[in-house]
Structure 1
């Protein structure tokens, strides 16, 4: 006997999604493929939201394992999962949420050298939750050249107020040094050199001033530019990013 839920049980799982977004949109989500790159403080929560919204295919890209320093902000991080691969934990979680989902696992970090290989086959949309500038730049260039819809998460480290999270084109982001550096590097390559010219890259960022306690543990291993991080902020980045993913999927359906 198949382990897949019967139609009535499956319909009950996602009835709330179909009611609020509409049957047509939900059916489109079921047929959509979203790639999430970086399954950390933002990416892990984004994967959860995508699975619970009924996205039919998700590709998870990361080569990291769960560490104790992840517990404060990353969904898969618990005592029982320390040392386990993040992509494996999140893939199984997605299947528990939706047994019909297709989950692709890429146990690797995105680099300028492998970006084309990793994005083949091409997903409907890419959600960038990477914290490495070189990788983010390579992804932006590849997606722009190949016209792949891309949503980029800015830096969440040191941010305390989730109400200060904003959404804008890369040309208009503020208070985010990483996004500012990426903007400069793209312009140095002749892309959107005019100050008001839009890049066509949707970014999630915060206008909050970064905060760091004087008592920072140097062994914490946080990849947040030396700052601490708050789950209320990282998860909010993720939820806003997924809302933007759904908007773009709806535009592709129209």
Structure 2
């Protein structure tokens, strides 16, 4: 074993980190952390360590003693590492969530700088999930973070998400992916929080969260609601809830015009242009809005995760959704 240690020490730092991550996964897979119970006990031990209690003691002083220990046992997936998703991951990591899977195939580009957390000099061109995973580990070296450089689709959703998560957070900007994700989670009674369109808004005080069946002023969420009702058997009765919390804004969208001005009139460039927030065209965005969407979603996520842990502790069904 001593010889192996010497060989490992001689490897470049990047290889050592990769080997450490691989070994950690194999360690859990072959049985030294054989069950969810063992995993929870493992994370709980870290939560009881005074050094880690100091790092996250503010969470316990806000939500009550033992909260960090509970969040350290939670498993969360975040889909989308953009203007909302990156800030959402930051908030979850700083709240002490024990496992976060990051799903996105995009790289960081210069035009992300106005709204995305990892868009910094020296980071352009990196995979967003890798940059955010590195940041999560800097916040909490004990976190179990899994960067997945892939876009979520109907064909890979099972492989990406059927992994024992307590909660899924949708921060992607693909209409079809959002629909598939919400429908998949509902079929499996897996709690999900959905984020609507943050682009084209300037007033962070108008950001709200309520059931997806009740959102307003969000064209994309309205289209998603229609698709879920027509193709995925969601309640067609307007009086019934979807039990899917959704973050949205009451503010009317500000559309960029061809002459460089901005107003509330939808441009005639095409039906999709007004709904997108991308690197070069479509709606503009600012961090105080994308961050506000993320932090509202993070607050709901913590609320739901603590409900999940409470039900697990009393032996109940951990997979119910509350809007």
Identify the TM-score tier after normalising by the shorter chain: over 0.9
How far 1:191 sits from its partner (Å)?
A: 1.6
Which residue number in structure 1 is paired with residue 244 of structure 2? Answer: 201
Structure number with greater CO (CA < 8 Å, separation at least 6) is 1
Q: 1:6 to 1:251 in 2, by over 3 A?
A: closer
The equivalences for 1:61-72 within 5 A come to 61-72=103-114
Structure-1-length-normalised TM-score: 0.93
1:242 to 273, 298, 315: 298
Q: Is the 8 A contact 1:69 1:222 kept in 2?
A: no
| C-alpha distance after superposition, 1:2-36 (max 9, x if no partner) | xx999333221111111111122221101001110
1:183 to 211, 220, 225: 225
Which residue number in structure 1 is paired with residue 126 of structure 2? Answer: 84
Q: Is the 8 A contact 1:46 1:242 kept in 2?
A: yes
CA RMSD of aligned residues (A): 2.0
How far apart, in 1, do the equivalents of 2:163 and 2:250 lie?
Answer: 35
Structure 2: gaps (5+ residues): 1-45, 262-268, 270-275, 311-323
How far apart, in 2, do the equivalents of 1:176 and 1:64 lie?
Answer: 25
Which residue number in structure 1 is paired with residue 139 of structure 2? Answer: 97
Figure out how many residues of one structure are paired with residues of the other and give that number: 248
Structure-2-length-normalised TM-score: 0.74
Which residue number in structure 1 is paired with residue 283 of structure 2? Answer: 227
| C-alpha distance after superposition, 1:157-209 (max 9, x if no partner) | 10110100011101100000110001001111232010111011100000101
Give yes or no for the alignment of 1:212 onto 2:265: no
How far apart, in 1, do the equivalents of 2:229 and 2:50 lie?
Answer: 52
How far apart, in 2, do the equivalents of 1:237 and 1:38 lie?
Answer: 13
How far apart, in 2, do the equivalents of 1:237 and 1:35 lie?
Answer: 17
- Bigger Cα displacement from structure 2, 244-253 vs 70-79: 244-253
How far apart, in 2, do the equivalents of 1:222 and 1:191 lie?
Answer: 27
Q: Which has the larger radius of gyration?
A: 2
